[in-house]
A and B are shown apart, each in its own frame.
Chain A
């Protein structure tokens, strides 16, 4: 509980809080994502080779060009909670939500043209 003894005044977070996530264990700090982002949602880290900063998630257009540019697969889109709609498995009638923790495992992916 030692780490619960301190609190800080910080500006309110934006909504969405994330928009896109960067896995720092996989990111190589190449900034390809920051360099394609149309809204400067992602900016380079001033410290070289460190993961870029998700600076303005509130300005994200969700075009995901950053995800496409990442050669190590470090980036993933993160839809805000209010953008996650449901789907229904026709045979069983079960309803799941996009992003739901116990959603069925990925069972479909036929790559569209040009998908690497």
Chain B
């Protein structure tokens, strides 16, 4: 094989015809921006309710999005017939302050129904071949394979989860949805060009030909994932460990902000562990959690690391690792379910100390050969065989290089002992990066939404991680829900008026990087621009937050925006997309910086209480900050309980059915 075919770095002609300046007009009822799990389900739902729909994605929709390469299990299906608790009980018990409870409820309430819908679309979810007949993981009656908790049904392993996106893709085609692939949406259009007025369309361009698309629509759904890669510049040798689809930049968020949508809690800090340059292939190292739960871990001398339950009592058998303790409601992933008291059995909590004392010797190894046959096949087969990015890159690749789960133990990365306390160890050394910012589970802030998942801009909806609802089950259920609501809205409104001046201004912005002349005007690459804005955030929006530092950051970012960003070049439509993504990162960064200032100002003035939610919004070019209390979604004009609000919102859907 000639591995060196591309060694010369020669210039190769762009393989697609270049059509800069060509403008295509498309008119639909509902436009979906981002065609991953959430956007795909939204498109199907909207089309089924009678709307003409376009789904636009930067990538080929058959496999696009975080879940595009597959999914191992489906979480928090609390509306299933065998649930130990209802979605309403879940809301009464849990939900951390600051998370948007109405959104969580909408996602949980529809999760089981969304799984049933996916099955109807053709997704194999049951153990039809009886591979796991008689195993504790299997519900014999329903032939569903329970994940984590084998007593209760809270999450299920997806028998054919690798195909979750392809069945949605087929569903979109079946419903006659128009698909625009490798088209990058760059901005939303407000009615009459007035920021904050109802949304009437969007602009975009082709990443193959560079031609422009102007979409006219009565409602728009944003499903472009989280805001990612703001703090960390990481292109090279990191894609394998990067959790989120690299197409997730925060475009939906940035364009909602620029269209005047209210955003909530953008000041929140967390960690950046899931996406930094020191990680390992996701799910591709020995570890005891998530896709690998409940794999036995041994030290370098083969000594088994003991397991304990949530109360610290020893868990003596492999079987018991999947069972709740007596009196426990259920056991599951506290990360996705956000509910105290459901903690799974885990390795001993004092493992770091016992590694330090020499009782356990590194490196640690995942002892698959010692696991019962069905559990070994569940981890190295069902889960690794279906989870995104692992079917070929781990399952096939490792096997090809001799790894045999019946005989071999997979290494866990060597890291400081604290790193073994929790989580998937593929994140690698926990001290390698600063705890900059969370990119998961609704802890980074998002556009504010009402009970219809509509933002404060009329006709503009959010679904999936763009609305803080992460994971395949929440993506799909919120997608179906938003598609239905957007379709209902579309029936009530007339065509909107696109402002051609707004379109022209955006076309100017899009094409600026390809028009700049080399040598003198444009010598900055998109990578350098990304690294530059990330440095501002690492310095001025990280651990040491103060108003002077944040203002310094804003000043610095503004300077980059007006100087180096204007010197960034694009030599083809691919690079053009990457440059525009950097501009999106800068917009998102400015929102984060400003939100942190809002938070400190609110603290200083005594407005901020523990349960205060902070909203920011662009009004007449100025940032307006407002506050509300936790659970505003159960206050007037809304009904005082979750179920009633939900039923009000889906009433029309039920009538149609």
A, B assembled together: yes
Binding site for B on A (CB under 8 A): 8, 10-11, 13-16, 18-19, 21-25, 35-40, 43-46, 51, 53-56, 58-65, 67-68, 77, 79-80, 82-83, 85-91, 96, 98-100, 103-115
Nearest chain-B residue to A94 (Cβ)? B408
Query: In angstroms, how far is the closest chain A Cβ from the Cβ of B367?
Result: 7
Q: Which one of B69, B280, B404 contacts A64 once the chains associate, using CB atoms below 8 Å?
A: B69
Nearest chain-A residue to B165 (Cβ)? A65
Nearest chain-B residue to A88 (Cβ)? B409
CB contacts (< 8 Å) of B281 on chain A: these are: 62, 79, 83, 85
Chain B, interface SS category: loop
Q: Are B6 and A54 in contact, with the CB atoms below 8 A?
A: yes
Expressed in whole angstroms, the Cα–Cα distance for A59 and B281 within the complex equals 15
Interface centre among B15, B242, B381 (most CB of A within 10 A): B15
* B1-29 Cβ-contact flags toward A at 8 Å (1 or 0): 11101111100111110000000000000
Given contacts A65-B68, A90-B367, A103-B401, contact A112 B395 (CB under 8 A): yes
Nearest chain-A residue to B386 (Cβ)? A112
Query: In angstroms, how far is the closest chain A Cβ from the Cβ of B57?
Result: 9
Q: Are B1 and A80 in contact, with the CB atoms below 8 A?
A: no
Nearest chain-A residue to B161 (Cβ)? A113
Expressed in whole angstroms, the Cα–Cα distance for A114 and B392 within the complex equals 13
Q: Are A79 and B408 in contact, with the CB atoms below 8 A?
A: no
Query: In angstroms, how far is the closest chain A Cβ from the Cβ of B163?
Result: 6
User: 10 A–B contact pairs at CB < 8 A?
Assistant: A39-B239, A87-B403, A90-B369, A98-B397, A98-B398, A98-B403, A106-B399, A112-B395, A113-B159, A114-B124
Query: In angstroms, how far is the closest chain A Cβ from the Cβ of B429?
Result: 13
Expressed in whole angstroms, the Cα–Cα distance for A67 and B390 within the complex equals 12
CB contacts (< 8 Å) of A86 on chain B: these are: 411
Nearest chain-B residue to A112 (Cβ)? B385
Query: In angstroms, how far is the closest chain A Cβ from the Cβ of B602?
Result: 39
Expressed in whole angstroms, the Cα–Cα distance for A64 and B392 within the complex equals 6
Q: Are B12 and A80 in contact, with the CB atoms below 8 A?
A: no
CB contacts (< 8 Å) of A10 on chain B: these are: 8-9
- Decide if B400 is an interface residue (CB 8 Å cutoff): yes
Query: In angstroms, how far is the closest chain B Cβ from the Cβ of A98?
Result: 5
Q: Are B408 and A106 in contact, with the CB atoms below 8 A?
A: no
Q: Which one of A21, A53, A58, A96 contacts B3 once the chains associate, using CB atoms below 8 Å?
A: A21
Expressed in whole angstroms, the Cα–Cα distance for A113 and B145 within the complex equals 14
Interface centre among A11, A55, A91 (most CB of B within 10 A): A55
CB contacts (< 8 Å) of A107 on chain B: these are: 402, 404, 407
Given contacts A24-B5, A46-B12, A103-B401, contact A14 B280 (CB under 8 A): no
Q: Are B1 and A58 in contact, with the CB atoms below 8 A?
A: no
Query: In angstroms, how far is the closest chain A Cβ from the Cβ of B75?
Result: 20
Expressed in whole angstroms, the Cα–Cα distance for A26 and B59 within the complex equals 26
Nearest chain-A residue to B366 (Cβ)? A87
Q: Which one of A15, A16, A61 contacts B245 once the chains associate, using CB atoms below 8 Å?
A: A61
Given contacts A38-B68, A103-B401, contact A85 B285 (CB under 8 A): yes
Q: Which one of B6, B14, B242, B574 contacts A61 once the chains associate, using CB atoms below 8 Å?
A: B242
Q: Which one of A11, A39, A45, A114 contacts B9 once the chains associate, using CB atoms below 8 Å?
A: A11
Having A58-B236, A62-B239, A85-B280, one finds 16 other A-B pairs with CB under 8 Å, namely A8-B8, A14-B236, A37-B59, A38-B68, A40-B182, A45-B15, A46-B14, A53-B15, A59-B246, A61-B242, A61-B389, A62-B240, A80-B237, A83-B241, A90-B367, A109-B396
Q: Are B160 and A114 in contact, with the CB atoms below 8 A?
A: yes
Q: Are A43 and B239 in contact, with the CB atoms below 8 A?
A: no
CB contacts (< 8 Å) of A115 on chain B: these are: 385
Q: Are A113 and B160 in contact, with the CB atoms below 8 A?
A: yes
Given contacts A25-B1, A63-B68, contact A106 B207 (CB under 8 A): no
Nearest chain-A residue to B241 (Cβ)? A83
Q: Which one of A11, A61, A100 contacts B239 once the chains associate, using CB atoms below 8 Å?
A: A61
Q: Are A79 and B15 in contact, with the CB atoms below 8 A?
A: no
- Decide if B467 is an interface residue (CB 8 Å cutoff): no
CB contacts (< 8 Å) of A103 on chain B: these are: 401-402
CB contacts (< 8 Å) of B146 on chain A: these are: none
Q: Which one of B15, B68, B385, B574 contacts A46 once the chains associate, using CB atoms below 8 Å?
A: B15
Q: Are B236 and A16 in contact, with the CB atoms below 8 A?
A: yes
- Decide if B382 is an interface residue (CB 8 Å cutoff): yes
Q: Are B411 and A106 in contact, with the CB atoms below 8 A?
A: no
Q: Are A77 and B393 in contact, with the CB atoms below 8 A?
A: yes
- Decide if B310 is an interface residue (CB 8 Å cutoff): no
Expressed in whole angstroms, the Cα–Cα distance for A113 and B157 within the complex equals 12
Residues of B545-598 whose CB lies within 8 A of A = 574
Query: In angstroms, how far is the closest chain A Cβ from the Cβ of B107?
Result: 25
* B212-244 Cβ-contact flags toward A at 8 Å (1 or 0): 000000000000000000000001110111100
Q: Which one of B15, B381, B409, B410 contacts A110 once the chains associate, using CB atoms below 8 Å?
A: B381
Q: Which one of A83, A90, A109, A110 contacts B408 once the chains associate, using CB atoms below 8 Å?
A: A90
- Decide if B377 is an interface residue (CB 8 Å cutoff): yes
Given contacts A85-B284, A87-B408, A98-B403, contact A59 B1 (CB under 8 A): no
Nearest chain-A residue to B14 (Cβ)? A46
Given contacts A36-B60, A64-B69, contact A56 B574 (CB under 8 A): yes
Query: In angstroms, how far is the closest chain B Cβ from the Cβ of A59?
Result: 6
Query: In angstroms, how far is the closest chain A Cβ from the Cβ of B411?
Result: 4
Query: In angstroms, how far is the closest chain B Cβ from the Cβ of A8?
Result: 7
CB contacts (< 8 Å) of A96 on chain B: these are: 401-402
CB contacts (< 8 Å) of B198 on chain A: these are: none
Nearest chain-A residue to B128 (Cβ)? A113
Interface centre among A8, A87, A111 (most CB of B within 10 A): A87
Expressed in whole angstroms, the Cα–Cα distance for A53 and B6 within the complex equals 7
Expressed in whole angstroms, the Cα–Cα distance for A60 and B13 within the complex equals 21
Q: Are A87 and B411 in contact, with the CB atoms below 8 A?
A: yes
Expressed in whole angstroms, the Cα–Cα distance for A23 and B2 within the complex equals 7
Expressed in whole angstroms, the Cα–Cα distance for A80 and B235 within the complex equals 13
Given contacts A77-B393, A83-B281, A110-B377, contact A24 B162 (CB under 8 A): no
Q: Are B367 and A112 in contact, with the CB atoms below 8 A?
A: no
Q: Are A83 and B237 in contact, with the CB atoms below 8 A?
A: yes
- Decide if B405 is an interface residue (CB 8 Å cutoff): yes
Expressed in whole angstroms, the Cα–Cα distance for A111 and B392 within the complex equals 11
Expressed in whole angstroms, the Cα–Cα distance for A99 and B240 within the complex equals 16
Q: Are A24 and B280 in contact, with the CB atoms below 8 A?
A: no
Nearest chain-A residue to B159 (Cβ)? A113
Nearest chain-A residue to B13 (Cβ)? A46
Given contacts A85-B413, A88-B409, contact A112 B1 (CB under 8 A): no
Q: Are B391 and A38 in contact, with the CB atoms below 8 A?
A: no
Q: Ordered nearest first, which 6 A-B pairs have the shortest CB separation?
A: A112-B385, A64-B392, A38-B59, A104-B402, A63-B69, A108-B404
- Decide if B247 is an interface residue (CB 8 Å cutoff): yes
Nearest chain-B residue to A31 (Cβ)? B15
Q: Are A63 and B388 in contact, with the CB atoms below 8 A?
A: yes
Expressed in whole angstroms, the Cα–Cα distance for A96 and B68 within the complex equals 32
CB contacts (< 8 Å) of B398 on chain A: these are: 87, 98
Q: Are A39 and B246 in contact, with the CB atoms below 8 A?
A: yes
Interface centre among A18, A40, A62 (most CB of B within 10 A): A62
Q: Are B162 and A62 in contact, with the CB atoms below 8 A?
A: no
Q: Are B63 and A63 in contact, with the CB atoms below 8 A?
A: yes
